[in-house]
C-alpha cells in the first residue's frame, strides 16, 4: 500500500507542471519561459560562454619548447654518449601585440554577448507576436459567434415575416445562407486558433498539442516615452549598433596590429651542456657550460606588409560606414513605427468607443424596423454587415497596434516602458 501511494504521489508531481501550464499563461510568463528554454536562445548563450574562454588564450604566450639531446654515442644508440644537452626556447611577440590581441578577443566576446541578447530580443518578439495572434484569433472567434447569434435573430424574423406573407422567400433563403456561411467560418476559426497555439508551443519548446490558455485582455496602453526618447534609446542600446561599434574598434586595433608587423618578434633560448667525456669539453676541468641565444625576425619584405595596412585601413572605413548606416536606418525605422503605433491606437479606440456602439445600435433599430415592415431585407443585412465590419476593423487596428509595439521594441533593442 505504501509503495502504491508513493507511486501515485510521484505521478502527481510529474503531471503538476503540465496541469499548471494548462492554466492562463500571461505574456510575461510566456516570455520568461522562452528566455529559459527556447533552443535558439540557449544556443546563443552557449556560444557566448564559449567565447569567454578564448580571451585568456590571446593574452598568454605560446608554450615554451624544451629539448634534450644525447650526442656522440660511440658505443651504440643511446649508449656511451659523450654529450648531454638541455635547452629551452620561448617565442615572444613584440611588446604590445598580445595586449591588443587580448582586447580584440574581449570585444569579440562582447559581440557574442550582444548576439545572445539580440537572439533573446528576437525570440521575445516572436513569442509576443504569437501570443497576440492567439488573442486576436479568440476575439475574432467571439466576433463570428456573435455574428452567428445575430444572424439567427435575422433568420427568425425573416421566417416569421415570410410565414405572415410580409417578406419574400428570398429574404428567408438569403438569411439562412448567411447564417450557414458564418457557422462554417467559425469552424475554420477553431483550426486557426489551434495552429496558432501550436506556433507558440514550438517557441516555448513544448509539444505542439500542449494545452495553452492566454489572457484575452488586449493591451491598448500608450508609450510613456516620446519619439525623441525612443530614438535615442534605440540608437544607444540596439544590439546591432553596439556590435557595429565594437567591430569598428576591433578594426582600429587590427590596423594598429598591421602596422606592428614591422616590429620584430623575439625568440629567447637557454641551454645547458654536460660533457661526459672530459677530453671533449672546452676545458678539461670544465665539463659543464651554459648557453643563451636571442633571435628576431627581420621585416625585409616590408613592401608586402604595406598591403596589409591598406586592407586594414579600408576595413576600418567600412566598419565606420556600417555603423553610421545602421544608426540612420534604426532612427528612421523607429520613427515610422512610433507614428504607426499612435495612429493604430487612435483607430482602435475610435472603433471600440464610438463606431462599434453606433453600428450595434443601428442594427438593433433596423431589426425592429424590419419586423414592423418599415425597411427591407437588403437594408437590414447591410446594417448587420456594417456592425460586423466595424468590429473587424477594430480587431485589425488592434492587430496593427500590437504588431507595431512588438516591432518598435525590437527595433529599439528591447522592451519599452
What distance in Å separates the CA atoms of residue 343 and residue 336, rounded to the nearest whole number? Answer: 11
378-to-143, 172, 367, 375 alpha-carbon distances in Å: 22, 12, 12, 8
Number of H helices, E strands in the chain: 11, 6
Contacts of 188 (CB under 8 A, 6+ apart): none
What distance in Å separates the CA atoms of residue 238 and residue 375, rounded to the nearest whole number? Answer: 59
225-to-49, 333, 338, 412, 414 alpha-carbon distances in Å: 34, 16, 10, 12, 14
- pTM for the full model? 0.81
Residue 345, SS3? Answer: helix
What distance in Å separates the CA atoms of residue 399 and residue 394, rounded to the nearest whole number? Answer: 9
The whole-number pLDDT of residue 74 equals 67
The whole-number pLDDT of residue 123 equals 95
The whole-number pLDDT of residue 31 equals 94
Q: Which domains does the chain have, with CATH numbers?
A: 24-60+93-263+299-411 (1.20.1600.10)
pLDDT tens digits for 299-327? 777 767 788 888 999 999 999 999 999 99
Q: Is the CA virtual torsion 344, 230, 320, 263 positive or negative? A: negative
Asked if residues 416 and 233 have their Cβ atoms less than 8 Å apart, the reply is yes
What distance in Å separates the CA atoms of residue 328 and residue 332, rounded to the nearest whole number? Answer: 6
pLDDT tens digits for 141-164? 999 999 999 999 999 999 888 888
What distance in Å separates the CA atoms of residue 31 and residue 403, rounded to the nearest whole number? Answer: 16
In residues, how long is the chain? 417
Question: Residue 79 phi/psi, 5° resolution?
Answer: -145, 125
Q: What is the pLDDT along the chain (417 residues), one digit of tens a residue?
A: 444 334 444 444 344 444 344 589 999 999 999 999 999 999 999 999 999 988 888 888 888 999 988 887 766 666 767 788 899 999 888 888 888 989 999 999 999 999 999 999 999 999 999 999 999 999 999 999 999 999 999 999 998 888 888 888 888 899 999 999 999 999 999 999 999 999 999 999 999 999 999 999 998 888 888 999 999 999 999 999 999 999 999 999 999 988 888 888 889 999 988 877 777 777 777 888 888 999 888 877 776 778 888 899 999 999 999 999 999 999 999 999 999 999 999 999 999 999 999 999 999 999 999 988 888 999 999 999 999 999 999 999 999 999 999 999 999 998 887
What distance in Å separates the CA atoms of residue 148 and residue 137, rounded to the nearest whole number? Answer: 16
The whole-number pLDDT of residue 9 equals 43
Q: Where are the alpha helices (DSSP H) in 86-203?
A: 97-163, 169-203
All cell numbers assigned to 115: 548576439
305-to-252, 261, 300, 311 alpha-carbon distances in Å: 17, 7, 10, 10
Amino acid at each position: 500500500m505504501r509503495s502504491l501511494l508513493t507511486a501515485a504521489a510521484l505521478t502527481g508531481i510529474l503531471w503538476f507542471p503540465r496541469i499548471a501550464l494548462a492554466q492562463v499563461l500571461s505574456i510575461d510568463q510566456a516570455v520568461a519561459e522562452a528566455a529559459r528554454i527556447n533552443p535558439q536562445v540557449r544556443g546563443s548563450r552557449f556560444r557566448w560562454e564559449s567565447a569567454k574562454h578564448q580571451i585568456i588564450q590571446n593574452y598568454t604566450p605560446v608554450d615554451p619548447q624544451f629539448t634534450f639531446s644525447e650526442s656522440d654515442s660511440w658505443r651504440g644508440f643511446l649508449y656511451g654518449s659523450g654529450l648531454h644537452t638541455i635547452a629551452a626556447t620561448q617565442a615572444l611577440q613584440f611588446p604590445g601585440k598580445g595586449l591588443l590581441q587580448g582586447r580584440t578577443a574581449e570585444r569579440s566576446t562582447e559581440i557574442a554577448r550582444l548576439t545572445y541578447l539580440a537572439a533573446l530580443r528576437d525570440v521575445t518578439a516572436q513569442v509576443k507576436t504569437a501570443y497576440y495572434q492567439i488573442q486576436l484569433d479568440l476575439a475574432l472567434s467571439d466576433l463570428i459567434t456573435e455574428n452567428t447569434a445575430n444572424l439567427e435573430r435575422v433568420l427568425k424574423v425573416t421566417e416569421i415575416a415570410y410565414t405572415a406573407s410580409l417578406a419574400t422567400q428570398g429574404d428567408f433563403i438569403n438569411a439562412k445562407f448567411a447564417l450557414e456561411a458564418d457557422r462554417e467560418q467559425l469552424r475554420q476559426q477553431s483550426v486557426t486558433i489551434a495552429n496558432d497555439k501550436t506556433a507558440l508551443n514550438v517557441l516555448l519548446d513544448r509539444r505542439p498539442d500542449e494545452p495553452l490558455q492566454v489572457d484575452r485582455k488586449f493591451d491598448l496602453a500608450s508609450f510613456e516615452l516620446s519619439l525623441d526618447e525612443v530614438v535615442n534609446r534605440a540608437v544607444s542600446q540596439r544590439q546591432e549598433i553596439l556590435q557595429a561599434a565594437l567591430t569598428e574598434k576591433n578594426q582600429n586595433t587590427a590596423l594598429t596590429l598591421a602596422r606592428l608587423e614591422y616590429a620584430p618578434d623575439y625568440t629567447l633560448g637557454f641551454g645547458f651542456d654536460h660533457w661526459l667525456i672530459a677530453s671533449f669539453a672546452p676545458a678539461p676541468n670544465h665539463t659543464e657550460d651554459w648557453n643563451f641565444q636571442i633571435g628576431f625576425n627581420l621585416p625585409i619584405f616590408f613592401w608586402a606588409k604595406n598591403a596589409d595596412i591598406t586592407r586594414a585601413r579600408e576595413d576600418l572605413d567600412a566598419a565606420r560606414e556600417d555603423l553610421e548606416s545602421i544608426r540612420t536606418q534604426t532612427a528612421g525605422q523607429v520613427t515610422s513605427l512610433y507614428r504607426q503605433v499612435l495612429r493604430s491606437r487612435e483607430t482602435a479606440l475610435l472603433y471600440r468607443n464610438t463606431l462599434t456602439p453606433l453600428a450595434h445600435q443601428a442594427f438593433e433599430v433596423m431589426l425592429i424596423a424590419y419586423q414592423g415592415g418599415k425597411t427591407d431585407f437588403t437594408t437590414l443585412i447591410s446594417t448587420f454587415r456594417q456592425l460586423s465590419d466595424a468590429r473587424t476593423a477594430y480587431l485589425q487596428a488592434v492587430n496593427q497596434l500590437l504588431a507595431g509595439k512588438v516591432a518598435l521594441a525590437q527595433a529599439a533593442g528591447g522592451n519599452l516602458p
